[in-house]
Amino acid sequence: MTRQQSTQNDEHARAERLTRRFIELYGHVPHGVWRAPGRVNLIGEHTDYNDGFVLPFAIDRAAMVAVRLKQSNDSAAHSADLASSYAPDGRLAKVSFTIADLAPGSVDGWGAYPAGVVYVLAGLDGIDVPGFEVLLDSTVPVGAGLSSSHAVEVATIVALNDLLGLGLSHPDLARLTQRAENEFVGAPTGIMDQSASLMGRAGGALFLDCRTLESEIVPLPLAEHGLSVLVIDSKVAHSHADGGYAARRASCERAATALGITGPSQM
């Protein structure tokens, strides 16, 4: 058995466990399970929101969501009920919100990330987001610079795109997820992380032009040559909403203003 086959088997077993726990929690079967990986970036730090090029690749750590759309006769049919096993102590953390009442700052903590994508989807013309139930699990370490928050957002928005039949493309979903981070969560992120999660492929890195979101998969056959990329956790906490990331983006905006050029992208 190859390493890729072993990983696929592990993820299938993980999806089955998540489904069983969803049934135990909500009393019925989810409509499906969706998965979105974290990412590592090889080239292009802080260039995604400056209209540059990046070269990330998706990793084998991923967020996974089991989702069921509520029916009209369900109690609280217009609310979203979320539970996560992502808590450090392994217990379920729960969040609920009414979709029509969503506004920036109305949901905090881990729940802000799925709530953010619901907020931007519900704001699109002609889209009615019904109530739903979610059970989230993730193996992407929090605060380690591997895009744990974007993995949660991407898994959620891909699930809703499929279940509601919206037909949104990967670039569309990437831009909407960026808006969720910028407008709802309050994190001044660029477009790279969610694009890597949405468009990354096994055995390759994603070359992405952040001006247009045109992309191509660049072969990265590490396993074929017995190679690995070693990612080391420095134990330094990482946050997009505050700290060094926000400060770096602000300095880029000041530099663009001083040079008289277009500032960092606000896709």
pLDDT of residue 150: 93
* Residue 48 · residue 192 · CB < 8 Å: yes
pLDDT tens digits, 159-170: 999 999 999 999
Whole-angstrom distance, CA of residue 187 vs CA of residue 201: 26
The amino acid occupying position 157 is: I
Question: Rg of the Cα trace of the chain?
Answer: 19
Whole-angstrom distance, CA of residue 150 vs CA of residue 81: 20
Q: Where are the domains of the chain?
A: 3-259
Question: What are the DSSP calls for 171-189, one per residue?
Answer: HHHHHHHHHIIIIII----
The residue assigned the tokens 């799925």 is 114
Pairing of β 204-209 and β 132-138? unpaired
Residue partners of 50: CB distance under 8 A and separation at least 6: 190, 210, 252, 256, 264, 265
Q: Which positions are catalytic?
A: 193
* Residue 82 · residue 22 · CB < 8 Å: no
pLDDT of residue 233: 76
Residue 113: count of CB within 10 angstroms of its CB: 27
pTM higher than 0.85 for the full model? Answer: yes
Q: Which of 256, 197, 153, 149 is nearest to 248 (CA)?
A: 256
Whole-angstrom distance, CA of residue 102 vs CA of residue 42: 36
SS3 assignment for 90-123 = CCCEEEEEEHHHCCCCCCCHHHHHHHHHHHHHHC
Q: Which of 172, 150, 168 is nearest to 160 (CA)?
A: 168
pLDDT of residue 267: 44
Q: What is the residue-level pLDDT of the chain in tens, covering all 267 positions? A: 556 666 677 888 999 999 999 999 999 999 999 999 999 998 887 788 888 899 999 998 999 999 999 988 777 889 999 999 876 666 889 999 999 999 999 999 899 999 999 999 999 998 999 999 999 999 888 877 888 899 999 999 999 999 999 999 999 999 999 999 999 999 888 899 999 999 999 889 999 998 888 999 999 988 889 998 888 877 776 555 556 677 777 788 788 788 877 655 544
Q: Partners of 95 in the beta sheet?
A: 82
CATH topology of domain 3-259: Ribosomal Protein S5; domain 2 (3.30.230)
Whole-angstrom distance, CA of residue 238 vs CA of residue 223: 29
pLDDT of residue 6: 66
